[in-house]
Amino acid sequence: MIKYGLKLWSNNIDYFVPAVDLLKKKEVDFIELYYNDMIPLDLKALKNLKGSPVNIHSTDNHGFEKFVIGERELSIWLQIKDLAEFFESKFIIVHPGREHTFNTFKKNLKKINTKKILIENMPGLDIKSQPMYASKLSELEEINQIKDICYDFEKAVKGAVYHGIDYKEYISNSLLSLKPDYFHISGGDTKSAIDEHLNLWEGDIDFKWIKQKILELSSTQTIFLVFEVPKKDGLKNDLKNIEYFRNLI
């Protein structure tokens, strides 16, 4: 079974009620909510999502982009954790940052560790063209010893490009080794190592091949698949991407 996820930000308050309608109509199955700590939470608006299946994606600001957890980051983490408790979220998605070894990553993870955390694989270069930790399978395998992985297909392509390897080989080996069941999906250019998050029909990633990989996994387990695509025309573009994926043969 594949469960289709809609990506929202905590400040996307105009989309909360329409998103709940999509859940009721079973056009999507759950929401992944990115915590944008740059804008105060609107608790009244968030209550519109209460009772819906919502997972949380931690902020990527104020130290979290480096995953160096000091006092300021800990205070932000408490807000993220409170948000997850508010929604009774099953997962909290966390980026592992930059310039880490497994030991430095593990040291920082220990400061915020909960059972809910999934660590997301990273691209070769972030949107600021900075190299990222956890773009190598060997790094992800170390992380997977202590945490499950949120596997982002577009980021995997970017990691493969950065390290000069075939992205299909990299993804196949990753799925076999890491055994993830929670995924992100978006479009991108297979010649660029920089994170993009395009529509699925933009760029040149072979999504027919990726869909077959997902279908193989979904035959024996529940797969969570979050569409991290551009917001256009309200939520219409999100649905357009989901329909595009559903129709791939």
Band (23; pLDDT cuts 50, 70, 90)? very high
- pLDDT digit string, tens, across residues 29-42: 999 999 999 999 99
Cα separation, 163 vs 135, in Å, equals: 9
Name the residue ranges covered by the structural domains of the chain.
2-247
For all residues of the chain together, what is the average pLDDT? 97
- pLDDT digit string, tens, across residues 149-180: 999 999 999 999 999 999 999 999 999 999 99
What size, in residues, is the chain? 249
Q: Residue 129's CB: how many other CB atoms inside 10 A?
A: 10
- pLDDT digit string, tens, across residues 70-90: 999 999 999 999 999 999 999
Band (249; pLDDT cuts 50, 70, 90)? confident
3-class SS of residue 82: helix
Band (62; pLDDT cuts 50, 70, 90)? confident
Band (66; pLDDT cuts 50, 70, 90)? very high
Q: Contact 60/101 with Cβ under 8 angstroms?
A: no
Cα separation, 116 vs 88, in Å, equals: 10
Which residues, 6+ apart, have CB-to-CB distance to 22 below 8 Å? 6, 28, 235, 239
- pLDDT digit string, tens, across residues 91-142: 999 999 999 999 999 999 999 989 999 999 999 999 889 999 999 999 999 9
Torsion (CA) 131, 134, 135, 141 in degrees, nearest 10: 160
Residue 132 is inside which H or E element, if any? Answer: none
| Beta-strand relationship, 54-57 and 223-227 | unpaired
pLDDT surpassing 90 at residue 63: no
Q: Contact 185/213 with Cβ under 8 angstroms?
A: no
Give all strands (DSSP E) within the chain, no chain letters.
2-9, 30-34, 54-57, 92-94, 117-120, 149-152, 182-185, 223-227
Residue closest to 185 by CA, chosen among 176, 174, 196, 194: 196
Cα separation, 77 vs 123, in Å, equals: 23
Q: What is the pLDDT of residue 203?
A: 92
9 burial type by CB count under 10 A (0-12 exposed, 13-18 middle, 19+ buried) = middle
Partnered with residue 9 across adjacent β-strands are: 34
**pTM value?**
0.97
Tell me the CATH number of domain 2-247, given options 3.40.50.10860, 3.40.50.620, 3.40.50.720, 3.20.20.150. 3.20.20.150
- pLDDT digit string, tens, across residues 195-243: 999 999 999 999 999 999 999 999 999 999 999 999 999 999 999 999 9
Residue closest to 208 by CA, chosen among 154, 246, 242: 246
pLDDT surpassing 90 at residue 190: yes
Which residues, 6+ apart, have CB-to-CB distance to 170 below 8 Å? 137, 156, 159, 160, 163
Q: Residue 143's CB: how many other CB atoms inside 10 A?
A: 22
